[in-house]
Structure formats: C-alpha cells, structure tokens
C-alpha cells in the first residue's frame, strides 16, 4: 500500500509507518487501484487519468478526464 500527500509525509497504520511517495507514471502503473480522497491542486490529474488502470475518485477531482478506468462516487 502506498499513498501520496504533499501535506502528510508519513503516518502510522496498524503499527506500520507509511511514507508518502511522489506520483509518477511508473508508480501509477504499478497500482491495482488509485483512490482519490482529497482534491489537492498540486497533483497532475491528467497523468493520474492516463497512467492508472483503475481510479476511484471520491472528490470528483478527475471530472475533466472521463474514461473507462474512472469510477466516481
């Protein structure tokens, strides 16, 4: 499990410390599913849409990038 957040560099979950990773095409392609929980303007959502096989967008951050790999709530 990985996450990316420019404002939260790390956090502990079930005794394990997770570190924020930088998003790039290789990281996105390695994920089974990308979940958008916060709409940070710093992210390149065009890259997220292009390089993710499945995206669950809970914030409507990718509204301008519709595609078959995008599931919105």
Report pLDDT digits (tens) over 14-70.
Answer: 999 999 999 999 999 999 999 999 999 999 999 999 999 999 999 999 999 989 999
Map residue 8 onto helix, strand or coil.
coil
| Cα 58 to Cα 61: distance, rounded to the nearest angstrom | 8
pTM of the model: 0.89
State the CB neighbour count (10 A cutoff) for residue 70.
18
């Amino acid at each position: 499990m990985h996450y990316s957040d420019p404002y939260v560099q790390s956090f502990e979950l079930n005794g394990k410390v997770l570190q924020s990773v930088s998003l790039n095409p290789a990281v996105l392609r390695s994920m089974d599913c990308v979940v958008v929980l916060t709409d940070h303007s710093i992210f390149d959502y065009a890259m997220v849409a292009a390089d993710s096989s499945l995206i669950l967008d809970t914030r409507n951050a990718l509204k301008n990038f519709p595609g078959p790999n995008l599931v919105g709530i």
